[in-house]
Amino acid sequence: MRRALLAAFLVVGCDTSSGPAAGKPVKVGYVLHGLNSFTQVIKKGAEQAGKDLGVEVEVTGPAGFVPTEAIAMFEGMVQKRKAGLVVVPQPGEVWVVPIRQAVQAGVPVVTANVTSLDSPASAWFGQDEYQSGVLLATELRKQLEAAGKKEGRVVVGMCAPGVRVLADRYAGFKKGMEGSRYEISEPFDVTPENTSNYSAWENLGGKYKEMAAAVGLCSVDIPNLAKLKSRSGATWVIAGYDLNVETLEAIKSGVAQVTVGQHPYLQGYLPVRALVEHLRDGKPLVKGWVDVGTEVVTRQNVDDLLLREKDEAKEKQWYADHVGKTFKDLASQARPFPKAR
C-alpha cells in the first residue's frame, strides 16, 4: 500500500504543470494533529496568512488526535497537488515516512508545534519547549510561595506521553523546580481527549488530595483542572500551558494561577508565509527552527491577553504588528533544530 502511494506521489511530483510556475495560484495545505480550541487558533493564523499573501490555504485535521487519520489527510493533500504542506507531526516518529514521501514527490514540507527531527521537513516553527518548562516552574514557585505552600507534592499530567516537545517541557519544568522543597511527580498520562482528560485529573485529584499544585503540559488541562477545583473545593495551585479563553478566564478568576502561551497563531501564520515566500517569491526555503516565543500569564497581566484572544480584530492587529517587528526575515532568524535535553 505504501509503495503504491509513493508511486502516486512521484507521479504528482513529476507533473510540473500543476505547480505555481505554470501560472496557477499557490495552494498550501496545513494538517493539524487534531481539532480543539487550541488548534483553532493555529488554523486562524494559517488562514490569515493566506488572506494577507493572496494564496489558497486549506487547513484540516482529525476530530480526535488520531495520527493515522492525520496521515491519511496529509497524503490526500499530496494527491490534491498542494504546492507546499505544513503539518503538526504528532508523534514525530510516525511522520518520518509520510513526510519523506511527500518531499521525494517534490512537495516542500515544514512543521509546527511538534517536531519530527528525523524527517526531511526543512523547518520547525515552535517555542523553546525546554525553556518554557523552566519559565513555568519559576512562576509556579512564586505562586506557591504566595499561597503559603512552601513544600508538598506537585502532580504533573502529560496528555501524550512520549511526544518529544512534552518531554522537553517536563524536563525544563523539573530543572526549574530544582533546589525547592516540592516533590515533583513523574508525568501521568491524562490523555488529549477532553472528557477522558477530566476523568484522569479527577482520579489524580482523588488520589493526591493534599497536593500543593497540579501542572498540566497540554492546552486541555487547565480548563478541566479549573472545573475540577471549583467543583471539589480543592485549594491546590494550577499551572499549565496555552492561552485558550477558558484558561485565561480561569486565571482572571483566581481559580488557576499561571499559564504559558506558545503563540499558536504564529505557528499557523509563519510556516505558511515561509512556503509562499519560497514557492511564489523564489526565496530559499527556511531551514531550521524558528522560535515563535513564549508568554507567561498570571493574574497580573491576564486582562491584556484576554482582550487580544477574545477580540479577533484586536488579535489580528496585534499579530500583524508583532510579525512586522519581530519576523522580518524568517531565513535569517532560523536556528539549528533544538536538541534533546
Whichever domain contains 216, its CATH number is: 3.40.50.2300
Q: What is the pTM of this model?
A: 0.88
Query: Which residue segment(s) compose the domain that 23 sits in?
Result: 2-127+264-293+312-333
Q: Are residues 110 and 175 in the same domain?
A: no
For residue 6, the model assigns a pLDDT of 39
The stretch 111-124 carries a mean pLDDT of 96
CA–CA separation, 335 and 295 (whole Å) = 20
Residue 149 lies in a domain: yes
pLDDT tens track for 221-234: 999 999 999 999 99
pLDDT tens track for 250-264: 999 999 999 999 999
Is residue 193 within 8 Å of residue 66, measured between CB atoms?
no
Sole residue written with cell 487580544: 308
> Residue 326: enclosing H or E segment and its boundaries?
helix 312-326
The stretch 170-175 carries a mean pLDDT of 98
Residue 6 lies in a domain: yes
Residues 6 or more apart whose CB falls under 8 angstroms from that of 69 comprise 62
The C-alpha cell that represents 135 in the structure block: 519559565
Q: Are residues 253 and 135 in the same domain?
A: yes
pLDDT tens track for 262-306: 999 999 999 999 999 999 999 999 999 999 999 999 999 999 999
The total of other beta-carbon atoms located within 10 Å of residue 50's CB is 23
Structurally, how many domains does the chain consist of?
A: 2
* Selected residue with higher pLDDT from 220 and 16: 220
CA–CA separation, 65 and 90 (whole Å) = 9
**Res. 205: pLDDT tops 90:** yes
The stretch 188-214 carries a mean pLDDT of 97
CA–CA separation, 36 and 68 (whole Å) = 18
For residue 42, the model assigns a pLDDT of 97
Q: Are residues 122 and 232 in the same domain?
A: no
**Res. 91: pLDDT tops 80:** yes
For residue 1, the model assigns a pLDDT of 40
The stretch 183-192 carries a mean pLDDT of 97
pLDDT tens track for 19-69: 454 456 899 999 999 999 999 999 999 999 999 999 999 999 999 899 999
Q: Are residues 137 and 257 in the same domain?
A: yes
Residue 307 lies in a domain: no
Positive or negative CA dihedral for 228, 234, 235, 236? negative
**Res. 77: pLDDT tops 50:** yes
Q: Are residues 170 and 242 in the same domain?
A: yes
Q: Are residues 217 and 241 in the same domain?
A: yes
Q: Are residues 225 and 101 in the same domain?
A: no
pLDDT tens track for 122-154: 999 999 999 999 999 999 999 999 999 999 999
